[in-house]
Amino acid sequence: MAKPEQGQATVTPTVDRLIHEPARLAIMTNLYVVESANATYLLQQTGLTWGNLGSHLLKLEAAGYVDVVKGYNGRKPETTVSLTGKGRDALLEYRGQLLSALAPLAGD
């Protein structure tokens, strides 16, 4: 799990902050429900720009959460992305962390 960065609030200290960022959460959840997808699919599903998508994919790839494969579909260059086993586990763990963090609010 990614450690909280310096200066960040500690309201949800046990939540994986790498996944907690909305754009990366959108990428992770969209990849969770498929085997793999190309970048165009992720752009369409998340509404991110190419630059944002690339930037977030780099962070997720560096954490070992996604596999990014650059290749060709016919003659056109194409990026294919899939969630790794580590990424799947991290997303499930994040879900548990978030539910635990919100549990005290239940019944309010």
Partner 1 sequence: MTTGLTDLKTLERDAFRKFYDDGIFDIYIGAMLITMGVAAVFADQMQSEALSMLLTLGLAIAVTVPLLLWRRHLLRSRLGEFKPGPARRRKITKTRLVLLGSVLLGILAFVVAAIAYRADSDVDVAGLVVPLLWFLNSMIVLGAMAYLLDVPRFYAYGVIVGLAMPILIWPDVLWDTRVAPWLAFGGPGLIVAAVGFYKLARFLRNYPVLETGVVADGEA
| Site residues, partner 1 (CB under 8 A) | 22-23, 25-30, 32-48, 50-51, 53-55, 57-58, 68, 70, 73, 76-79
Please state the closest distance from residue 88 (CB atom) to partner 1, in A.
11
Over the range 45-56, which residues count as b (16 or more CB within 10 Å of their CB) and which as e?
A: bbebeeeebeeb
Please state the closest distance from residue 72 (CB atom) to partner 1, in A.
9
User: For 8, phi and psi rounded to 5 degrees?
Assistant: -80, 150
**Cβ-based nearer residue to partner 1, 76 or 107:** 76
Please state the closest distance from residue 15 (CB atom) to partner 1, in A.
13
**Cβ-based nearer residue to partner 1, 1 or 88:** 88
CA–CA distances in Å: residue 87 to residues 2, 29, 53, 106, 107 = 12, 10, 17, 28, 32
**Cβ-based nearer residue to partner 1, 40 or 100:** 40
